[in-house]
Amino acid sequence: MKVEIHNGCFGYRGKLLFDHLNLKVPENKVLTILGANGVGKTTLLRCLMGFLPWKEGETLLNGAPFHSYSHKEVWSHISYVPQAKQSSFSYRVIDTVVMGLNASSSLFSTPSKEDYEKAQAALEWLGLADLAERNCDRVSGGQLQMVLIARALVSDPEVLILDEPESNLDMANQLRVLDVIERIADKGDTTCIINTHFPNNALRISDDTLFLGSNGKQLMGPTKSVINEDTIKEFYHVRSYMVPVTPISNKLRIVFPYQTEQIPAEL
């Protein structure tokens, strides 16, 4: 499914976060959104998904306006992975994953045996089958994030939206999450939109990257060309070098930040 934002404007209390933002994610491509803290990465996702109303402009799904779809229609195509945090009522892992099938169920229905089989398959695909019976408050932060990804994948979404999926995770768990996103991208039937704090992760997993800056500044392009020393300086106020990682691949380059710049006064 193709996802677009057409002339999106949004802001809080007179402060403009997005000024006529345009965004196009072609079908089955991966987009990462980068930007410093507070520029509105999560807000952008919330506007995109209709949780916050655009002041101007709109979200388009396959060319049709977001609001032309019913709530259920939208969410049977799109899955959202929020940042993992424990909620006050925790359920078993398998019960949590099966919730991902709710959008296609009727009001009074409860999940069927087939639904549970699908949930189990999703867990197996992510290598989490062992956790199925455990309660969600008995798994680690990294495992919980993977469970939420399983919940999102169980409905075979056409669009997968992830909000900083690798934040707050240790190195191994970060790699696991990246690996899963790569596997999803390789399947070639899911459009992914991912917020991240890490340009290097973007370089690894995405086709396109959107940089968000303060005061509605934005820049979008193919990830490999749009992430460079100049854009890192412009959007993060950090000096860096692009360093090739030749032992892994001749094409892979990563950002090595080494010094902060003076942050301009208006921030």
Partner 1 sequence: MSSKNKVIKGEKAAKTPAGQSKTGALQSQTNERHKHGGIAILALLILLIATFIFSLCLGRYQFSPSDIIQVLWGTLTQSNVDPMASNIVFSVRMPRILMGILVGAALAEAGATYQAVFGNPLVSSDILGVSSGASFGATLGILLSVGTIGIQAWSLAFGLIALVIVIFLGRVQKKTQLYMLVLAGVIVSSLFSALVSLLEYVADPYDQLPAIVTWLMGSLTSSSYGDVVTSAIIILPCCILLWLLRWKLNLLSLDEEEAASLGIDVSKMRILVLVIATLMTAVTVSLCGVIGWIGLVIPHMCRMIVGNDHRVLIPSSMLMGGAYLLLIDDIARCATGTEIPLSILTAIIGAPVFMSLLQKTGGSAK
Which residue ranges make up the site for partner 1 (CB under 8 A)?
Answer: 46, 49, 51, 71-72, 75-76, 78-80, 82, 86-92, 95, 99-100, 102-105, 107-111, 130-135, 151
Q: Please give the Cα distance from 105 to 114 (Å, whole number).
A: 13
> In this complex, which beta carbon is closest to partner 1, that of residue 8 or of residue 100?
100
> In this complex, which beta carbon is closest to partner 1, that of residue 113 or of residue 249?
113
Number of helices and strands (H, E) in the chain? 9, 12
User: Residue type at 53?
Assistant: P
Cβ 236 to partner 1 shortest distance, Å? 27
Cβ 165 to partner 1 shortest distance, Å? 14
Q: What is the largest CA-CA distance in the chain?
A: 59
> In this complex, which beta carbon is closest to partner 1, that of residue 91 or of residue 125?
91
If 0-12 CB within 10 Å is exposed, 13-18 middle and 19+ buried, where does residue 63 land?
exposed
Cβ 38 to partner 1 shortest distance, Å? 16
Cβ 72 to partner 1 shortest distance, Å? 5
> In this complex, which beta carbon is closest to partner 1, that of residue 79 or of residue 240?
79
Cβ 47 to partner 1 shortest distance, Å? 12
Q: Please give the Cα distance from 50 to 174 (Å, whole number).
A: 28
> In this complex, which beta carbon is closest to partner 1, that of residue 48 or of residue 220?
48
Distant-in-sequence, close-in-space partners of 199: CB < 8 Å, separation ≥ 6: 34, 227, 232, 255
Q: Which two tokens stand for residue 229?
A: 């020393």
